[in-house]
Amino acid sequence: MPSKHIYLFHEGNAGLRDLLGGKGANLAEMTNIGLPVPPGFTITTEVCKEFYVGEERLPTGLFDEAKRALADIEKKAEKKFGDITDPLLLSVRSGAKFSMPGMMDTVLNLGLNDETIKGLVSATDDARFAYDAYRRFIMMFSNVVMEVPKNEYEQAFTELKKRLGAKKDTDVGAPDLKALCEEFKALTKLRTGQDFPQNALQQLEAAIEAVFRSWNAERAILYRRVENISDDIGTAVNVQAMVFGNRGDSSGTGVAFTRDPANGENVLYGEYLMNAQGEDVVAGVRTPADIQELSDNHPKIYQQLNDIAQRLEMHYQDMQDIEFTIENGRLFILQCRVGKRTKTAAVKIAVDMVNEGLITKEEVILHRITPSHLERAIHPHFIEKPKEQILATGMNAGPGAATGKIVFTSKKAVEIHDANPGAPIILVREETSPDDLAGMLASKGVLTSRGGRTSHAALVARQFGIPTICGCSALQIDDKTGTMTIGEKLLCEGDWISIDGSSGVVYSGNLETKPATEMGETAALMQWADSFRKLKIRANADTPDQAAEAVRLGAEGIGLCRTEHMFLGDRVPLVQKLILADNETDRNAALDMLLPLQREDFEGIFRVMGNRPTTIRLIDPPLHEFLPNETELLVEVTRLECTEPRSPKLSELRQMLAAVRTMHEANPMLGLRGCRLSFILPGIVQMQVTAIISAACQVKKEGIDVIPEIMIPLISHVNELKWVKDRLEPTAQRIMQEEGLAIDYSFGTMIETPRAALTAREIAAEASFFSFGTNDLTQMTFGISRDDAGSFLPQYLNEAILPDDPTESIDQAGVGRLIKLCIDDAREVKPDLKLGICGEHGGDPRSIAFCHAVGMEYVSCSPKRLPIARYAAAQAALMDKDD
């Protein structure tokens, strides 16, 4: 054997987790800082690897090394292993680098046999305790090492108790337990053909092998797969002197957290049980007491425990989860590890620890608090999530929880809302279109059977903070009857459902919701984050209200103001007039009516934003989005043709149908939209630029110097940008001249087609800024449509065809490469080009880290995501420093 395979506890330390496993490393660390840890040693994970390279046997010489280490335990414990007067008993436990609770095997009380048991009886003067320990050991050893099913022993014990009329285990006395031990050994012999081993060393060797073997137990393999733990790292084995919490009323066992893991308060938290072993606590037969009671009943031990807790926290600089045992009034620490905690507690603990001077702000942001901790503070969530109420699962498209009564049409939702504002409505649709905006805003949550995380419904949902689940394909909606079925279950309009937009799960009934908490506790965190981050954070906002929310949540500008949302609502008839006009006069009349409305929109936004830059995207979507639905029109026309062929409405509808059909597109995403509209209906963007610059002038007169950044969308060739810009510049100049004012405006473009990224050198020369429209860029780079991915993307994610959902987090290998290439080229031509991102990815922490790394100036996200984005930007900046 080439190197050291066994570490006595005092030879290891917390840094050796790879080699000693998490438990072993911490036992070593605690031993070294002088805590009362029962003596022991750790067989390294390297041995586990050798074990599996060979024929699942311990490597030659290993057990000799173990025997030498055992001698050290014996010395420290002042007992001998296999001693027939006062035997040392051992525990043999697994312990991998990452915690795999309960997945591998453990053998306790090892070293007992028909001789040493007598020693234990006399040494403890407690025959009942001793035989209880022996029967547990025989069962555990027979099960773990000799592979006899445990329930056979349990059954025998149950029968014994029945026979004796014993209610609890403790009602069975020593003689009966002794007889039970004999019965157990006979059972083992019966099942395995072998005698129960009486040699203590033989027991030890077999137990070590068995624990190594349990690394590859089926459940352990499965657990590692789920938790993404490599099969190659192996487990260590910890051999440690037993201490007993069940040796009477001055013995006990318990678990303590150095702070309250539920709310983060800085008090010792936990529970304990006197005269009990760990497994008694787990079995839940007796109710443990609150750790504070220990302070009343055993103040010295409590004090000792509390001191240790504080020492451990100081030492590990994090809240600890401690297992302890009291044996005859003497406290032993059996394990410590970083304590699990709620997200709320995590934030409080981290902030407190900074204030206590225990850790730095950087440490908190880099390692302690993840953006997902903040999610909880930002969105409402269900207090309980009963599994039996789960109806189906879709895509978590708009985070937060909502509960309400089912409504199947936007019209109905608006009616209910108007009659009773605040009524709990969940809008359920096959998919949503811009027509549904009012209905969505009237609802508490939205559920669709089609579309993915970047579908229309999802985009609107996140923009307006509406909890939403998309692409829930198990849903079958029947508009006509006003019902939907999920599997066998039929739901009608008005039925309650609850949707968790953060997880994508749909529940039946009305679940209790905890509202979004105010930032409060996290305010300090956000302040620190702002002091570290390099990226500026903007918001996607289309209205003065949204802009105001954005500013409140820390936006330093608007990264995307979608002007088409300004064309909806009661302006739709005007917009339709504009689109359907067959002559210049009618078209201009419609534009003239839209101009003052749009100007007002911009004035409102500018007043809110002040001198923060505001990126306004000129009209982008295909025009047919503003027209009635083709299919519905067709049905109506066909119906009228059959029933009222002379209806005057028919010819009107036919005309509309003809217009809608002319605009029909096979793939609207790749059709007539974005800057392409400027070539067909140049009046729209002229009107928009007029509105932007006049609004800016008006607001400037009010004393506010606004910074409008006018964004021309869907460029794929520099000439498109040039052509459109060359026609809009004079308009902007003219208005400024008329008003006698200078506005600090600029023209730029969205990078959303792969070609724009590939020809950034040319395009940069014509733009003042680039904003990466990563929604479209991702769709085109992958060739995946936002609305149609529902049929295969879930399977792709399940089967790990795609490691992550690229609509959620920037696909760095593909889309990210394109972005990097674009930035490098663009900066070569124009080093001061302003670069940002305005796709949904702007609110995703991993994507934000990417944006930081490639040198963007800002990210922009929906207002609700601002805290997350600010925080993630700080992480990125600190990570960068860390390198």
Which residues sit at the interface with its own copies, rule CB under 8 A?
630-631, 634-635, 638-639, 641-643, 665-672, 676, 679-680, 714, 716-717, 719-720, 723, 752-755, 758-759, 762, 776, 779-785, 787-789, 791-792, 795-796, 799-802, 811, 813-815, 817-818
**Which of these is catalytic: 298, 417, 456, 624?**
456
Compare residues 512 and 824 and give the one whose CB is closer to its own copies.
Answer: 824
The distance in angstroms from the start CA to the end CA of the chain is: 38
Residues 606 and 707: their CA atoms lie apart, in Å, by: 9
Q: Pairing state of beta strands 289-290 and 252-257?
A: unpaired
CB of 542 to its own copies, least distance (A): 22
- The strand ranges marked E within 3-100 are 6-8, 40-43, 80-81, 87-88, 90-96
For its own copies, the closer CB: 58 or 715: 715
CA angle, corner 715, sides to 711 and 718, nearest 5? 105
Identify whether the C-beta of residue 403 lies closer than 8 Å to the C-beta of residue 431: no
**Which of 838, 841, 851, 861 is an active site residue?**
838
Of residues 187 and 715, the one with the C-beta less far from its own copies = 715
Binning the chain into helix, strand and coil, the percentages to the nearest 5 are 50, 15, 30
Q: Is the dihedral angle over the CA atoms 27, 33, 34, 35 positive or is it negative?
A: negative
Alpha-carbon distance 866 to 554, whole Å? Answer: 7
> At its nearest, how many Å lie between its own copies and the CB of residue 780?
5
The answer for 732, left when phi > 0, alpha when psi is -120 to 50, beta otherwise, is alpha
Are 335 and 323 in contact by the 8 Å Cβ rule? The answer is: yes
Q: How far is the CB of 505 from its own copies (least distance, A)?
A: 23
Sort residue 518 into left (φ over 0), alpha (ψ -120 to 50) or beta. beta
Q: Least separation, in Å, of the C-beta of 395 and its own copies?
A: 16
CB of 673 to its own copies, least distance (A): 9
Closer CB to its own copies, 147 or 479, in the complex: 479
* Smallest gap from residue 590 Cβ to its own copies (A): 20
Q: Which is nearer to its own copies, 202 or 795 (CB)?
A: 795
Q: Is 838 a catalytic residue?
A: yes
- Three-state DSSP class for 36? coil
Cβ 573 to its own copies, closest distance in Å? 24
Active site residue 851: no
To the nearest 10°, report the CA torsion of 825, 831, 833, 839: 50
Q: Which amino acid is at 486?
A: I
Q: What is the DSSP string of 490-546?
A: EEETT-EEEEETTTTEEEES---EEPPPPSGGGHHHHHHHHHH--SEEEEE--SHHH
Q: Residue 834, Cβ neighbours under 10 Å: how many?
A: 18
Number of neighbouring beta carbons within 10 Å of residue 283? 11
Shortest reach from residue 723's CB to its own copies, in Å: 6
Residue nearer to its own copies on the CB measure, 778 or 862: 778
CA 488 → CA 106, 426, 793, distances in Å? 45, 21, 25
Identity of the residue numbered 467: P
Q: Which is nearer to its own copies, 340 or 755 (CB)?
A: 755
Task: Pick between residue 414 and residue 780 the one whose CB is nearest to its own copies.
Answer: 780
Active-site residue set: 456, 838
